[in-house]
Amino acid sequence: MKIAIVLFEGFTALDAVGPYQMLSHTPGYETCFVAERTGPVADDAGTLALVAAKTLAEVPAPDILVVPGGPGQERQVENETLLGWLRAADTATTWTTSVCTGSLLLAAAGLLRGRRATSHWLAMEALRTYGAEPTGERVVTDGKYMTAAGVSAGIDMGLTLAGLLAGDRFAQSVQLLTEYDPQPPYDAGSPDKAPADLVAEMRDGSRFILQ
């Protein structure tokens, strides 16, 4: 069984590596990073490259599909090669998943029409324009489609999926080995909790956006 994690220029690193870390030791599953071309793919900051081991064409039928987000998705929503691959790959999957604005790619491929889904909190309206039904939950499951909120939510999604693929005890062992007992030093992780003026600056675009 194969887990394919899609890379494209300008992806956000933790979007991809969060679920990867939770899923990469799942018994019976092999994880593979895929992109249009093999080789290094630069992230949104341009200071980290992850290596795509296989081309999209070499992995036409993954069992699990994971699509990260990041500022680079803005170019990918018009990339018919990628969107066409997502549509075709989706016909083979048992789970089609995304992190952050990766859901905009699934939605642009037509896969989330009429489905409950989530995305980065700044991208919820964009998600709606593709016909999805945005929700405020951190991890949203609708049928075989599992979407996570922004960036770090991919860790929670990955652990949720690990439990579904290999059982609660396996997922607990992954959580324990990765010491996933989070203790953020601030409490600003959602627009409901962060300082209101910071949220406003991000909504109006006057502060830089990682997506």
Binding site for a copy of itself (CB under 8 A): 12-14, 17-18, 20-21, 24-25, 30-33, 40, 45, 47-51, 53, 100, 120-121, 138-139, 149-153, 155-156, 159-160, 163, 168-169, 171-186, 188-191, 193-195, 198-199, 202, 207-211
Residue with smaller CB distance to a copy of itself, 80 or 197: 197
CB of 97 to a copy of itself, least distance (A): 14
CB of 26 to a copy of itself, least distance (A): 10
Residue with smaller CB distance to a copy of itself, 1 or 131: 1
Give, in order, the Cα–Cα distances in Å from 41 to each of 3, 32, 38, 47, 120: 18, 14, 8, 10, 22
**C-alpha to C-alpha distance for 14 and 64, rounded to whole angstroms:** 18
| Catalytic residue (choose from 22, 23, 100, 106) | 100
**C-alpha to C-alpha distance for 200 and 197, rounded to whole angstroms:** 5
Q: What are phi and psi of 65, to 5 degrees?
A: -115, 130
Residue with smaller CB distance to a copy of itself, 78 or 192: 192
- Catalytic, 100? Answer yes
**C-alpha to C-alpha distance for 188 and 113, rounded to whole angstroms:** 31
Structure tokens at 146: 């599992």
CB of 102 to a copy of itself, least distance (A): 13
The DSSP output letter for 51 is E
Residue with smaller CB distance to a copy of itself, 103 or 109: 103
Helix residue ranges, H only, 43-184: 73-76, 80-90, 102-108, 124-129, 153-166, 168-177
Instruction: Please give the single-letter amino acid code of residue 63.
Output: D
Residue with smaller CB distance to a copy of itself, 110 or 195: 195
CB of 80 to a copy of itself, least distance (A): 27
CB of 46 to a copy of itself, least distance (A): 9
Can you say whether the dihedral through the CA atoms of 27, 93, 16, 200 is positive or negative? negative
Residues labelled catalytic: 100
